[in-house]
Each structure stands twice: as C-alpha cells, then as structure tokens.
Amino acid sequence: MTITPDFRFRRLRRSPVLRQIVREHHLRPEDLIMPIFVQEGIAEPVDIASMPGVQRFPESQLGGELRRLWQLGLRAAILFGVSDNKDSCGSDTWSDDGLMARCIRTAKAAVPDMLIISDNCFCEYTDHGHCGVVVEDDVDNDQTLTNLQAQVVTAARAGVDMIAPSGMMDGMIAAIREALDEDGYHHIPVMSYSTKFASAFYGPFRDAVDSNFKGSRNTYQMDPANGREALAESMQDEGEGADILMVKPGLAYLDVIANIRQHSNQPLAVYHVSGEYAMIKAAANAGVIDEKAVVLETMLAFKRAGCDLILTYYAEDLLKWLAEG
C-alpha cells in the first residue's frame, strides 16, 4: 500500500538555498548589544571565572576595546561599572567625575558613532549591593526614584545615547522621563528592563560586577511564576514613555516575550543573561554540545518569540559567525 501525503512540507527543505529563501526569522549584527564591564583601579583586563571568555576592562582600555568591536561590526554596547567608591546610596553615579560618567565620555570619544547605553541601577555602586536606598531591610522605591533621576541626568550630561534602567522600581520610567525632559534631554531614549524576574540565572553576573548582597530582590524583581503580571509590568512602562521594552532573562521566559509582542508594537529586547551564557560554555567545554549551533539556535528562538534586540555576552562570537555566513 502506497501512502501519499496531502502536502509535502519537505519540498522547501531540499537545499540550503531553498531553506534560506523561506526562512522566517534572521539574526543580524545590528540586533546585538554587547555588555561591557569596566573596573576602577586595574591596569589590565581581569578574567571573570564564572563567565569564561568575559573580562572586566580597565578604564584605560575601554576605548580601544570598543574600537576593536566596532571594526568587527558591533553597533551598540551597554556599560556596567565595577566601582571602588561604593556607599549606601550609590552617589558615585550622580557625580560628573564618577565612574559611570567617565566611562560614557571615554566610550563616546573613542567611537562617536557607536550607540552607548548606560545600565542605570545602583547595585554595582552600593556597599549593600541592592538596587536602591535600603530602609528597614528593603529597597525604598520612592527614595530610589529620586536618586535615579540624578543618575540619568548625569549620564545624559556625559553624552550617553540611551538610558537603560534595570532596578524594577515602580514608576521609574515616568521619573526618568520627567528628569531628562526637564533638563532638555528630550532626545534621549529609554530602554526599560520592563519585565525583569528575580531569577537564579543571574549568579555569574554578581561575580562580574562584584555585587554580593544580603537577602533577596524578591520584593522588587518579578516572581518567575507570574505571566499576567509580567505583561502588566511592560505595559505600564510603555504607558510611562519607555521607548524600548525588555525581558530578562531570556530562554525560560519565551512565553512572556511572545505575549508582550502580541500586546505592544514597541521595539522589544531580551537579555541573554550570565547564567544562560555560563551554562552553554560549561556544556561546550564538556564536549556535549556544539557551542556555535546552540548559540545561534538560542538567538533565533529570541527572534521567533518576537524580540528585535538581544543583549548577549556572545555578541563578539556572533559577529564573527555571521560574517562567516
């Protein structure tokens, strides 16, 4: 007995060219944003043990590193400071001579055309490691908003191209937009970490920025169990004026990404976080996966779910792989 399928999907899979011309989603160099760690008080790059291949750079080498990445095709970088000047409120971030402002000026002087984004939070700059002002063992939302306004205006004065608040404070986008607009920075867009979960996938990042904190961030970052609230968080930030929305982490939250995409036409980003990166590296180093194939498949999953932009520590590798074809 001969069985004849009603329709043969395999017709369009017969050759590489056929597969390419009907491919629904594509990854481009312009989709990638590279996180860069800059540490005070060092003269040479420092390897981050939990994130093989990732380093903290001294300020003196930031410009050269960004010029090298620009030549590879990177068009956007987000800067994270590793500060020696920590206090209870992260005041170094609203100083024009502080690490955040210096890094922005250095980056823009080195590669004026690169999109330089500042991660606007306090965890890397506070002695307690939390994302704002701690009162009675919890982060005070409204006091933190006041400090965040000072921080983003400082970043704007330094020449930043985009603000990216990651602290998950209620009302943060409205507060940031008000501060920027009142100081004449109407043109600076805000990419909000609009749906950021209290995730176990962040572990290696805390090593990267030397941010060890007591307790948890469960009162201000999202419960991983909540999908409806995840959508509401991003819709709230869109309503307050966020130019770009973001979901963090990535792979465990593809459903959240897809749901936000169905409800919003704003550009949507995802942060492929340190733990996701480290797991792929560990599996690749153990010889149980093809690193390049798994990374490319992961990035396409983000695109398929609805993301436009991807923050990833694999950005440099991806630029090289995409150039190879």
Catalytic residues: 196, 248
Element of type H or E holding 165: strand 162-165
Q: How far apart are CA 108 and CA 112, in angstroms?
A: 5
Query: Alpha helix (H) ranges present in the chain?
Result: 16-21, 59-72, 99-110, 141-158, 172-182, 203-208, 227-240, 254-263, 274-285, 291-305, 315-324
Supply the angle between the helices 315-324 and 59-72 in degrees, to the nearest 10.
Answer: 20
Query: Alpha helix (H) ranges present in 159-263?
Result: 172-182, 203-208, 227-240, 254-263
Which two structure tokens, joined as six digits, stand for 162? 């985009």
Neighbours of 98 (CB within 10 A): 21
3-state secondary structure of 137: coil
| Nearest partner of 259 among 242, 276, 234, judged by Cα | 234
Q: Tokens 């955040």 map to which residue? A: 100
Q: Tokens 């792929």 map to which residue? A: 280
Q: How far apart are CA 133 and CA 92, in angstroms?
A: 14
* Torsion from C-alpha of 163, 309, 56, 167, nearest 10 degrees: 40
DSSP 16: H
Which two structure tokens, joined as six digits, stand for 174? 């409205």
Separation of CA 28 from chain center? 17
